[in-house]
Amino acid sequence: EACRRLALVPLPASGSVLIAGVAARHGYDRFRLVGPVRRWPADGDSDPSPPTDAERLTHPVEIVPLLEREGAFSDAEQAERIRAEVAESVANLALARLGAAVHAQVESEPDTESPLETVTSGILAADAAASFERIVTDGHPFHPSGKIRRGMTPAEGLAYAPEFTDRIDLHFVAIDRKYALETRATGADRLTDRLLAAFDGLEG
């Protein structure tokens, strides 16, 4: 479909403009982009080898050095951290959408008309709420790094992320109270008491 609106992001330091189609405008002036993002060079581009036409960006991390040139980061270390987070988020999103393709193959029962019942009955999970958690693949799509899982390897993501596993076995370790500090809201139950009530066999 033809896009009637464009988002233009000027990049004065590099003498260029980022251009992307706008699919929708959401609350708080958040825009959902569609199609490729292109970098259009303007006259006087300081890039030593500027493209002769609109250059298509093939990966979101390509925006990071452009923003760094604009002074968007406090230092090179922060720019590198953002670059790593964006790259990780893109990779995790790609894996999550593969998982979504698997979930999409779940078919409705002949006597079931509600798609909600299809999710809860067709996607394995510890409970109904977790079934819906498993089909949320895009994380926070308006956040530049909405799918990061810092400290987790891709293998760990496949093993523990809700898109790929239906349950995670928890292991508990008892810690002497003198080595632990627990705080809670006034009148609230202690976390220890809540765990003992939720999981059989812990108290003993």
Give the start-to-end residue ranges of the domains of the chain: 6-58, 78-160
The answer, as to whether pTM is greater than 0.75, is no
Q: Do 32 and 23 contact (CB within 8 A), yes or no?
A: yes
Q: Do 21 and 1 contact (CB within 8 A), yes or no?
A: no
What is the per-residue pLDDT across 28-39, written as a single tens digit (0 to 9) for each? 888 888 889 999
Q: Do 39 and 27 contact (CB within 8 A), yes or no?
A: no
Q: In angstroms, rounded to a whole number, what is the distance separating the alpha carbons of residues 185 and 200?
A: 25
What is the per-residue pLDDT across 33-77, written as a single tens digit (0 to 9) for each? 888 999 988 765 455 454 455 799 999 999 999 999 999 999 999
